Amino acid sequence: MIINVSEAKANLSKLIDMVYHGEEVIIAKNNLPLVALVAHKPREKAL
């Protein structure tokens, strides 16, 4: 799903939930895709 910044601001909680459940969300500005919203993956601790 590609969504513009202004719409992403208004629906951020919903978008976070969508990404958490495996959907792809791309945020665009002036219809130009800029960033992908991705779920956080904790880093492994160094030994």
Q: What is the pLDDT of residues 15-45, one digit of tens each?
A: 999 999 999 999 999 989 999 999 998 888 7
Asked whether the predicted pLDDT for residue 47 surpasses 70, the reply is no
20-33 as b/e, with b when 16 or more CB fall inside 10 Å?
A: eeeeebebeeeeee
Pairing label, strands 2-4, 25-29: parallel
Where are the domains positioned within the chain?
A: 2-37
Q: What is the DSSP code string of the chain?
A: -EEEHHHHHHTHHHHHHHHHTT--EEEEETTEEEEEE----PPPPP-
